[in-house]
Amino acid sequence: MYTFTQNTKSICFALIAIGIVAIGYGFYSASKTHYSDAEIKVKVKELYKGLSNKNKIKKDKHHASSVYKFSHLFHAIEKEFHCHFSEEEIANAQSIDDVIYRTKHYFHAKKQRPWSSLFVSNLFFLMISLGGLVWLAVQYISQSGWSASLLRIPQAVSSFLPFGGAIMLFIIITGALHWHHTYHWMDSSLTYEYVYENTIGTDHPQYTDEKVAGVVKNKKYDYIIDGKTAYLNIPFFIIRAIIYLLGWCLVAFLLRRYSLNEDKEGGLKWHNKMFALSAMFIVFAAITTSTGAWDWIMSIDTHWFSTLFGWYSFASFFVSACAVIAIITIHLKYSGYLENVNENHMHDFGRYLLAFSIFWTYLWFAQYMLIWYSNIPEEVTYYLIRFESYHILIIVALILNFMTPMLLIQDRAAKRLKGQVLFVAILILIGHFIDVFVMIMPGTVGTHWHLGFVEIGTFLGYVGFFTFVVLRALSKVPLDQKNHPMLIESKHHHI
Amino acid sequence: MSKEKIIYGVYGDDDVILDAVKAIREKGHHIDEVYTPFPIHGLDTAMGLKYSRIAICSFIYGCIGASCALFMFWYIMIHDWPMNIGGKPSFTLNENLPAFIPVTFEMTVFFGAHLMVITFLIRCGLYPGSSSKSPDPRTTDDKFLMEIHTNGDAKKIKEIKDLMKKTGAEEIKEKE
């Protein structure tokens, strides 16, 4: 029986407090300096006029040195609105409309920032929890003996699913209510070809697909997104999310109950039931992790698609889940529990981490290389923004997720050391958080990204929240499954 | 000092020989070699063998393979005959690197695997035309053989023979 000490609890609560402060600060600072689109348009035009009168902006559009012709305007805007533009944004502006668009974009990103950081952390820990459940199911269907004495740990990891799932649903529903713009395609103005002329400029323009009297072409119409509405529409999206989350939570609940029944009754009955349920769950998880990744992550960059995205993101979450299970096992080992777990089990954790880190790198590179080689505009946009604005994070993620496991736990002796596996597992966890960050942020806050107090604070808050939920679930049931048929094999596991 | 003598103990079961190895080593005798028809799990640690360094060789061979592949690409695709494939005519190794990674990976595996096998064969003395070192051909079928070298001390030889008998040896032979 694991006791959740007051000391660990206090650390969790402190981390949760940091998280709440960080996300609260994020929402506060986003709401404090927010300008509406109309306000921005009016003010930028005023500034433009003022500067034009002073002859600071050359009106000759074909002038050779027109590259920085809007730089004065941008600087005036920076002063007026207290914002900041990158060199590229300033250099690439071609007209006054571009300047207005850029300014609007800056404030949209600012408003989106706390939502995105909440979304990144929540998705990361929700999917780790799911990865833990898949890991548990894999142990059952592969009839693994080595892990039999530590299966309560992935069980406890999967107990975070309802919490993460509830917040995920909250984020999706608030997105559908247009509180934030994580999912660009939820904007209904993009999918209608025509708009009623008399409603343009009002707060709620009326759109239609039919060419009737009184309509004009909708300027915002996006035919690519319109072509995807059969799959990407709000009701179906929410129904899918509920199906995934209910399915995952149900399996997590059943596997936990079956294993508790096995403790009470013994015999092979419950073990066989868990085997059958795990086999069915693996099929369900194989489909839902792919479609879930398309829905929740890939649809952020709505125009873009990649066929192996589901596996790529799942590889990321699965290796993170392996790292979390290894970290909790080592924590329990350091606190004097799990006397049957020894360096042979560490060796297996090391192999899991190394193998899935390389699997992740393989999928990352497979996706990248095909897009780089074919160089099709609709695909390459995904990496364009990432390589221009997020290259530091991509390099750090590749070093943490590929180079560190490759170099630090390749050796047999290294895999058998608790401390070394723990160190690499923590680095992998940080690396994959950065990887998820790079999956989400370019499509939501664009070039105006930060990895500052709001993002890191929210992440730390989630670390506390997740640890609290998982360790509390772990402390409620006996740490050993006393009637698991392969306990003896696990005890004498030797490699 | 009398001449060196070699004692062979033939066993009929893998578990029996594993326990015998442990028991004999506990008494402080050094076991020089064990011949078995198949690998026995845990025998190397029971015999007190050092962990194989072939993994380190494999890492070095892999590095050689990767370097060879990159040098080959640089020479063929960049230096000697620059080629524009798939609209990527940047003509530097660095910028065209993603295209070379898959084959570099293959070359790393190729070098690692082949050189490792060759190293293994050389280290075991398994060059073409070499003869079998096993003292008893039955070790390729169903028998397990333990080999202990002694300096000819009669008391020690007797002690080892007794130990072998006690631990379940089916046959015990002696060779000058």
Q: What secondary structure does DSSP assign to A324-343, as a single string?
A: HHHHHHHHHHHTT--TT--H
Q: Is the pLDDT reported for residue A66 higher than 70?
A: no
For residues B9 and B27, membership in a common domain is answered with yes
Q: DSSP label at B79?
A: I
Residue A414 and residue A405 in contact, taking contact as beta carbons nearer than 8 Å: no
Residue A394 and residue A361 in contact, taking contact as beta carbons nearer than 8 Å: no
Q: Judge: B41–A494 Cβ closer than 8 Å, yes or no.
A: yes
For residues B60 and B118, membership in a common domain is answered with yes
Q: How far apart are CA A119 and CA A453, in angstroms?
A: 15
B-facing residues of A in 381-420 (CB < 8 A) are 410-413
Dihedral sign from CA coordinates of B127, B128, B133, B136 = positive
Q: Is the pLDDT reported for residue B151 higher than 70?
A: yes
Q: Judge: A411–B55 Cβ closer than 8 Å, yes or no.
A: yes
Give the confidence band of A184 by pLDDT, cuts at 50, 70, 90: confident
What are the residue ranges of helices labelled H in A142-209?
152-157, 161-176
Question: Would B128 be classed as within a structural domain?
Answer: no
Q: How far apart are CA A73 and CA A146, in angstroms?
A: 66
A26, A55, A120, A313, A393 from A458: Cα distances, Å: 9, 47, 9, 21, 18
Provide the domain count of chain B.
2
Question: Would B132 be classed as within a structural domain?
Answer: no
The per-residue pLDDT for range A79-124, each reduced to its tens digit, is: 777 777 777 777 777 777 777 877 877 888 888 889 999 999 999 9
Other Cβ atoms closer than 10 A to A439: 24
Question: Would B131 be classed as within a structural domain?
Answer: no
- Tell me which chain A residues have a C-beta less than 8 angstroms from the C-beta of B57: none
Task: Give the model's pLDDT for residue A461.
Answer: 96
Average pLDDT score over residue span A378-390: 90
Q: Is the pLDDT reported for residue A64 higher than 50?
A: no
For residues B60 and B110, membership in a common domain is answered with yes
Question: Would B135 be classed as within a structural domain?
Answer: no
For residues B118 and B76, membership in a common domain is answered with yes
For residues B62 and B99, membership in a common domain is answered with yes
Sheet containing B144-150: order of strands: B33-35, B144-150, B5-11, B171-175
Q: What is the mean pLDDT of chain A?
A: 89
- What crossing angle do the helices spanning A96-141 and A37-53 adopt, rounded to 10°? 140
Question: Would B108 be classed as within a structural domain?
Answer: yes
Question: Would B136 be classed as within a structural domain?
Answer: no
For residues B63 and B116, membership in a common domain is answered with yes
The per-residue pLDDT for range A326-342, each reduced to its tens digit, is: 999 999 999 999 888 99
> Above pLDDT 70, what percent of chain B?
99
Q: How far apart are CA A58 and CA A52, in angstroms?
A: 8
Query: Looking at A4-8, A68-72, A256-260, which range is the least confident one?
Result: A68-72
Average pLDDT score over residue span A58-64: 49
Q: What is the mean pLDDT of chain B?
A: 89
Q: Where is the domain boundary, B94, B123, B152?
A: B123
Structure tokens at A48: 């433009």
- The β-bridge partners of B146 are B9, B34
Question: Would B160 be classed as within a structural domain?
Answer: yes
Question: Would B170 be classed as within a structural domain?
Answer: yes
Task: Give the model's pLDDT for residue A261.
Answer: 93
Out of A365, A375, A494, whose CB is closest to B87? A375
Range of the domain at B77: 54-123
* CATH number for B38: 3.30.70.260
Q: DSSP label at B144?
A: E
A88 touches chain B (CB under 8 A): no
Q: Judge: A368–B98 Cβ closer than 8 Å, yes or no.
A: yes
